[in-house]
Structure 1
Amino acid sequence: MSKVAWIGLGVMGYPMAGHLKAAGHDVTVFNRTPAKAEKWVAEYGGAHRPTPAEAAAGADFVFTCVGNDDDLRAVTLGPDGVYPGLKPGAVHVDHTTASAEIARALSQAATRHNASALDAPVSGGQAGAESGKLTVMVGGEEADFSKAKPAIESYAHAVNLIGPAGAGQLTKMVNQICIAGLIEGLAEALNFGMRAGLDMEKVIATLSKGAAQSWQMDNRWETMIAGKFDYGFAVDWVRKDFGICFDEARRNGASLPVTALVDQFYAEVQEMGGRRWDTSSLIARLNRDRPKR
């Protein structure tokens, strides 16, 4: 078992850190809102500290799960950040969905401190974090990945090294681009079927056994039809992720016309008051005459 620091106890980080503690690791946490850290310690044990640097002191592994590139810079490279005091040989594992650019910068910074860094964004949402069944896509060096993988497996059912620093974040971008089109297609299909007067339970029972099947169909069709959108990844967050994809696409020359269109559809959902609705809420803009329940 390892000495671990966990920085960031949001809807994802809170249960993920809990799985590490349940697996027997010695976990010290930091959260920008101290009350959240105190609540976590009361629930799981371990300890909390008032700064990222203090939480990470002497840790074998430092995990971060924060909001964006700026938050990540603050907790790693800022005045009270993790990096200046990293234990030699420590591994920083970042679960933030961030840019590949900052992943590469942190890898270089960690090396300067005789440590190492892995960019390791996740897929599976809040439900996956709570159940310990996330998919983790990792960028970094093989030796560092091998050291960190057993700890990561405390809350994941799939952990794969994709390539060098930044590859994990780039893979997460691929994931978000895939999901954008899938959810919009499902939303349009469900709305079409309902307006055609079909028995949608029978429709989905049939289609889910064929080429149209997807995780989104299996897990979200009922709540989408019911207008219930409190099941995970928020619209505000997916639009943040799309912004990262668009920035990278401008650098590598990729064309993302469907993602750009879906991003604008999510902007409409935000205007409808759905900033914190989950991503399946795309159907709401197609079915505005049916109130959200």
Structure 2
Amino acid sequence: MSSTNPKTYESVPSRKVAFLGLGVMGYPMAGHLALAGHEVTVYNRTAAKSIAWCAEYAGTSDPKHAETPRLAATGADIVFCCVGNDDDLRSVTLGADGAFAGMQPGAIFVDHTTASADVARELAAAAKTLGLQFVDAPVSGGQAGAQNGVLTVMCGGEQAAFDAVAPTASAFSRAFARMGDSGAGQLAKMVNQICIAGLVQGLSEAVAFGMKAGLDMPQVLDVIGKGAAQSWQMDNRGKTMVAGKFDFGFAVDWMRKDLGLVLDEAKRNGARLPVTALVDQFYADVQQAGGRRWDTSSLITRLK
């Protein structure tokens, strides 16, 4: 990415930041921070990934890697994080080697993990007792959005913390919006995943129907994509679904984790999600068929 990166960066003051978690999302997100001129220290559970990241971005503002979240966070103005789930998030924030133990009073922790609203509120409260600030900030846009620096970020937390972070986060985002108090970012991401689940199932049924009817589905998609049926999923996944290609990033395993969070939250707040619950079970079928790492458009494989 560093040699062919097309992103242009806003002129913002350089900050000392840390990034915890260099997975398919975190690796390029941290890279955009370095390319935008920020001083970045990274931590990853597998140290080889941190070392490789530093080598790739060696031409930026002196990138460093640390052996623990605490060491990565020491002296940072902002600590960004993108890990797997609630437990992973607790493991990099709490305890003697956690980031909170290394952060200076007034520093801000920004969590891009898709996690529960409960853990966001729990960690926001823990941060506050230490004189720290916490923003839950899950992202949408997938691996391509992270690589291109055009993620949509939904934030929960205090306005002052959000305002302080937004200019720096512009390095990897095109939309960075505050949804409300702690947990609101995670709840907004749940709304996003509910929408996607229904859209992908509807698109799967439509494509499978058209193929069985003998239609030229790429042509059909071109035509109906100019009308009321148009969606991001249709534009970006319709033709690949016709072609049976399912290697475009956001995996079925990850979607099931996210929908689990959605359905747990719905039990608490009383929301009725019959379609979402059904699609979650359809994704379970895809997992059992060997599609755990296929992307979410693989729902159509149940119908072919």
TM over 0.5: yes
Question: Post-superposition shift, 1:174?
Answer: 0.4
After superposition, the C-alpha distances for 1:228-287 in whole angstroms (9 at most, x for unaligned) are: 111011000000001111111111001111011001110110111100000000011111
Question: Post-superposition shift, 1:114?
Answer: 0.9
User: Aligned partners of 1:113, 1:224: CA distance in 2, in Å?
Assistant: 49
**Which residue does 2:47 correspond to in 1?**
34
* Amino acid in structure 2 at the alignment position of 1:121: P
Aligned residue runs from structure 1 range 52-131, under 5 A: 52-131=69-148
**Which residue does 2:17 correspond to in 1?**
4
1:20 aligns with 2:20: no
**Which residue does 1:190 correspond to in 2?**
207
Question: Post-superposition shift, 1:201?
Answer: 1.9
**Which residue does 2:154 correspond to in 1?**
137
User: Aligned partners of 2:165, 2:285: CA distance in 1, in Å?
Assistant: 41
How many residue pairs align between the two structures?
287
TM-score (norm: length of structure 1):
0.97
**Which residue does 1:291 correspond to in 2?**
none
- 2:134 match: secondary structure: strand
* Amino acid in structure 2 at the alignment position of 1:22: L
After superposition, the C-alpha distances for 1:53-101 in whole angstroms (9 at most, x for unaligned) are: 0000010000110000000000001331011221111010000000000
Question: Post-superposition shift, 1:218?
Answer: 0.3
User: Aligned partners of 2:245, 2:268: CA distance in 1, in Å?
Assistant: 37
* Amino acid in structure 1 at the alignment position of 2:160: A
User: Aligned partners of 2:220, 2:135: CA distance in 1, in Å?
Assistant: 43
* Amino acid in structure 2 at the alignment position of 1:167: A
1:218 aligns with 2:238: no
* Amino acid in structure 2 at the alignment position of 1:28: T
**Which residue does 2:173 correspond to in 1?**
156
Of 230, 234, 245 in structure 2, the residue corresponding to residue 228 of structure 1 is: 245
- 2:249 match: secondary structure: coil
* Amino acid in structure 2 at the alignment position of 1:192: F
User: Aligned partners of 2:281, 2:271: CA distance in 1, in Å?
Assistant: 18
Aligned residue runs from structure 1 range 172-191, under 5 A: 172-191=189-208
* Amino acid in structure 2 at the alignment position of 1:88: P
After superposition, the C-alpha distances for 1:174-202 in whole angstroms (9 at most, x for unaligned) are: 00001000000000000100110111122
User: Aligned partners of 2:286, 2:280: CA distance in 1, in Å?
Assistant: 10
Query: Is this contact kept in 2: 1:86–1:113, CA < 8 A?
Result: no
After superposition, the C-alpha distances for 1:96-126 in whole angstroms (9 at most, x for unaligned) are: 0000001011111111111100000000000
User: Aligned partners of 2:218, 2:79: CA distance in 1, in Å?
Assistant: 46
**Which residue does 2:4 correspond to in 1?**
none
Question: Post-superposition shift, 1:205?
Answer: 1.3
After superposition, the C-alpha distances for 1:197-220 in whole angstroms (9 at most, x for unaligned) are: 111122111111111100000000
User: Aligned partners of 1:151, 1:256: CA distance in 2, in Å?
Assistant: 36
* Amino acid in structure 2 at the alignment position of 1:188: E
Q: Which runs of 4+ in 1 moved over 2 A?
A: none
After superposition, the C-alpha distances for 1:4-48 in whole angstroms (9 at most, x for unaligned) are: 000000000000000000000000000000111111000013010
Query: CA RMSD of the aligned region, Å?
Result: 0.7
**Which residue does 2:11 correspond to in 1?**
none
User: Aligned partners of 2:102, 2:95: CA distance in 1, in Å?
Assistant: 12
Query: Is this contact kept in 2: 1:16–1:155, CA < 8 A?
Result: yes
Aligned residue runs from structure 1 range 258-273, under 5 A: 258-273=275-290
